[in-house]
């Protein structure tokens, strides 16, 4: 109870099985086996892993998007998770890209944020589940899409972010780089726009 079930390919657990990653799964079996040896037990056991309020906790995670339903996933060994760390976000983006490719979506869609998602839904009439939300990590997302076997990537987002990409800026967070107006002016000038015409 409270542990999710895997419903999509691409995770480290089989579809239809409890979302308990290999390392904690192995540790559970190792500890149970140790106790059985200590107690000289040689029969069969039914091991049940329960997470009180796991269903409610899962609603606050990415689990639904990743194909984990009905509870949380048991991820690792420390019990500590860094949900907002850069590494955790990049791993989630990679996992979503992998799942899209495994589902047959050879040309993936990425949106940095809400503007892209709204455009995807309202202007293009597409299901939001088709897109991977990549935040400011556009360069990483392009690289990971290629590594996971995608044949193409459609990037849909706010002009302010995309103009940075036009300048070769692959992390579009304002703390990493800006220069949006300068890039716009350079492209406009390169195409022959005169200073007083815009």
- Domain termination residue (choose one: 38, 69, 100): 69
| pLDDT exceeds 60 at position 77 | no
Evaluate whether residue 112 is within a structural domain: yes
The whole-number pLDDT of residue 110 equals 94
The whole-number pLDDT of residue 191 equals 87
- Domain termination residue (choose one: 37, 69, 101): 69
Tokens of 128: 């939001």
Residues 65 and 112 in one domain: no
% of the chain beyond a pLDDT of 70: 94
Beta strands (DSSP E) in the chain are 5-6, 68-69, 107-111, 131-133, 152-155
Evaluate whether residue 177 is within a structural domain: yes
The whole-number pLDDT of residue 40 equals 92
Evaluate whether residue 76 is within a structural domain: no
Residues 108 and 57 in one domain: no
| Predicted confidence band of residue 84 (pLDDT cuts 50, 70, 90) | low
Residue with the larger pLDDT of the pair 55 and 75: 55
What total number of domains does the chain contain? 2
- Domain hosting residue 163, numbered range: 86-190
The whole-number pLDDT of residue 83 equals 53
Lowest mean pLDDT among 39-48, 83-92, 152-161: 83-92
| Predicted confidence band of residue 155 (pLDDT cuts 50, 70, 90) | very high
Evaluate whether residue 197 is within a structural domain: no
Rounded mean pLDDT, 192-197: 75
| pLDDT exceeds 70 at position 76 | no
Residues 171 and 105 in one domain: yes
Q: Which of 20-34, 141-155, 178-192 has the highest mean pLDDT?
A: 141-155
Q: Exposed/middle/buried for 83, CB within 10 Å: 0-12, 13-18, 19+?
A: exposed
Lowest mean pLDDT among 81-90, 102-111, 133-142, 147-156: 81-90
Evaluate whether residue 79 is within a structural domain: no
% of the chain beyond a pLDDT of 90: 30
Residue with the larger pLDDT of the pair 150 and 187: 150
pTM, full prediction: 0.62
Residues 29 and 101 in one domain: no
Residues 90 and 153 in one domain: yes
- Mean pLDDT, rounded, of the chain: 86
d(CA 38, CA 35): 5
Residues 109 and 44 in one domain: no
Residues 100 and 173 in one domain: yes
Evaluate whether residue 22 is within a structural domain: yes
For 68, phi then psi, to 5°, come to: -110, 115
The whole-number pLDDT of residue 196 equals 67
Residues 105 and 37 in one domain: no
Evaluate whether residue 150 is within a structural domain: yes
The whole-number pLDDT of residue 192 equals 86
Residues 63 and 93 in one domain: no
Q: Exposed/middle/buried for 108, CB within 10 Å: 0-12, 13-18, 19+?
A: buried
Q: Exposed/middle/buried for 112, CB within 10 Å: 0-12, 13-18, 19+?
A: buried
The count of other CB atoms within 10 Å of the CB of residue 181 is: 10
Overall residue count recorded for the chain in this entry: 198
**Listed residue (1, 28, 25, 29) closest to 13, CA to CA:** 25
Q: What is the pLDDT of residues 118-134, one digit of tens each?
A: 898 899 998 888 899 99
- Domain termination residue (choose one: 42, 69, 96): 69
Residues 107 and 159 in one domain: yes
Angle at 125 between CA 120 and CA 127, to 5 degrees: 70
Rg (C-alpha) for the chain, rounded Å, is: 22
d(CA 3, CA 38): 28
């Amino acid at each position: 109870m409270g542990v999710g079930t895997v419903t999509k390919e691409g995770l480290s657990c089989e579809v239809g099985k409890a979302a308990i990653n290999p390392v904690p799964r192995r540790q559970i079996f190792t500890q149970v086996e140790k106790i059985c040896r200590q107690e000289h037990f040689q029969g069969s056991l039914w091991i049940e892993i329960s997470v009180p309020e796991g269903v409610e906790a899962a609603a606050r995670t990415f689990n639904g998007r990743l194909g984990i339903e009905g509870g949380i996933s048991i991820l690792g060994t420390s019990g500590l998770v860094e949900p907002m760390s850069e590494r955790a976000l990049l791993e989630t983006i990679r996992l979503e890209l992998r799942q899209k490719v495994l589902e047959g979506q050879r040309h993936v869609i990425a949106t940095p944020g809400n503007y892209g998602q709204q455009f995807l839904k309202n202007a293009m009439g597409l299901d939001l589940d088709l897109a991977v939300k990549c935040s400011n990590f556009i360069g990483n997302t392009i690289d990971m899409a290629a590594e996971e076997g995608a044949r193409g990537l459609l990037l849909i987002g706010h002009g302010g972010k995309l103009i940075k990409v036009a300048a070769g800026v692959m992390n579009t967070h304002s703390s990493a780089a800006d220069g949006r107006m300068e890039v716009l002016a350079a492209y406009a000038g390169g195409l022959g726009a005169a200073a007083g015409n815009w």
